Structure 1
Amino acid sequence: MILVVDVGNTNIVLGVYKDSRNIAGWRISTDAKKTSDEYSIKVMQLFLQSDLNPKEVKGIIISSVVPNIMHSLENMVKKSFGINPLIVGPGVKTGINIKYDNPKEVGADRIVNAVAAHDKYNKDLIIIDFGTATTFCSLTKDANYLGGCITPGIKISSDALFDRAAKLPRIELETPKSIICKNTVTSMQAGIIYGYIGQVEYIVNKMKKEMMDHGTEEPFVIATGGLAKLIAKETDVIDKVDSSLTLEGLRIIYEKNKE
Structure 2
Amino acid sequence: MILAVDIGNSSTVAGVVDSSNGTVVAHKRFATEPERAASEYLELFSSLVATLGKSGASGGVTSGIDGAIICSVVPKAVPAVAASLVEIVGAPVSVVSLEKASLEKASLGGDAGAADGSGAYGPEVKLVAPAMELDVDTPSEVGADRVVNAVAAFELFGGPVVVVDFGTALTLDYVNGDGVYCGGIIAPGIGISLEALHARTAKLPLVTIDDSIGCSGSKPGSDSGAKPCSIVGRNTVEAIKSGVYWGTVSMVDGIIERIERERGALGSVVATGGFAGTLAACADSVDEVDEFLTLKGLGLIYERNH
TM-score over 0.5 (shorter chain) = yes
Letter in 1 for 2:50: L
Q: Does 1:98 align with 2:134?
A: yes
Distance of 1:235 and 1:29 partners within structure 2: 27
Q: Does 1:192 align with 2:244?
A: yes
What aligned pairs does 1:78-117 form with structure 2 within 5 A after superposition? 78-90=86-98, 91=103, 92-117=128-153
Do the aligned partners of 1:95 and 1:143 also contact (CA within 8 Å) in 2?
Answer: no
Letter in 1 for 2:36: K
Distance of 1:254 and 1:107 partners within structure 2: 18
Q: Does 1:254 align with 2:262?
A: no
Letter in 2 for 1:28: F
TM-score between the two structures when normalised by the length of structure 2: 0.78
Distance of 2:88 and 2:303 partners within structure 1: 22
Do the aligned partners of 2:272 and 2:293 also contact (CA within 8 Å) in 1?
Answer: yes
Name stretches of at least 5 consecutive residues in structure 2 with no aligned partner.
56-60, 104-127, 210-225
Distance of 1:113 and 1:251 partners within structure 2: 11
Name stretches of at least 5 consecutive residues in structure 1 with no aligned partner.
none
Q: What's the CA shift string for 1:52-94, capped at 9, x where partnerless?
A: 4331211101000101111111121223432211110144343
Distance of 2:88 and 2:277 partners within structure 1: 35
Do the aligned partners of 2:6 and 2:294 also contact (CA within 8 Å) in 1?
Answer: yes
Letter in 2 for 1:31: E
Alignment size in residue pairs: 254
Distance of 2:24 and 2:240 partners within structure 1: 38
Query: Aligned with 1:26: secondary structure?
Result: strand
In the alignment, which residue of structure 2 is the partner of 1:6?
Answer: 6
Q: What's the CA shift string for 1:75-133, capped at 9, x where partnerless?
A: 21223432211110144343311001111111110111111111111121111111111
Q: Does 1:148 align with 2:156?
A: no
In the alignment, which residue of structure 2 is the partner of 1:55?
Answer: 62
Q: CA RMSD in A?
A: 1.6
CA shift for structure 1 position 228: 1.3
Distance of 1:223 and 1:182 partners within structure 2: 30
Q: Does 1:177 align with 2:229?
A: yes
In the alignment, which residue of structure 1 is the partner of 2:175?
Answer: 139
Distance of 2:152 and 2:202 partners within structure 1: 43
Query: Aligned with 2:237: secondary structure?
Result: helix
Distance of 1:33 and 1:235 partners within structure 2: 37
Q: Does 1:209 align with 2:216?
A: no
Letter in 2 for 1:242: D
Query: Aligned with 1:137: secondary structure?
Result: strand
Structure with more contact order per residue of length (Cα contacts < 8 Å, sep ≥ 6)? 1
Distance of 2:39 and 2:298 partners within structure 1: 24
TM-score between the two structures when normalised by the length of structure 1: 0.92
Distance of 1:76 and 1:236 partners within structure 2: 42
CA shift for structure 1 position 235: 2.3
Letter in 2 for 1:190: S
Tell me which moved more, 85-94 or 116-125: 85-94
Distance of 1:230 and 1:70 partners within structure 2: 30
Do the aligned partners of 1:223 and 1:240 also contact (CA within 8 Å) in 2?
Answer: yes
Q: Percent identity?
A: 37
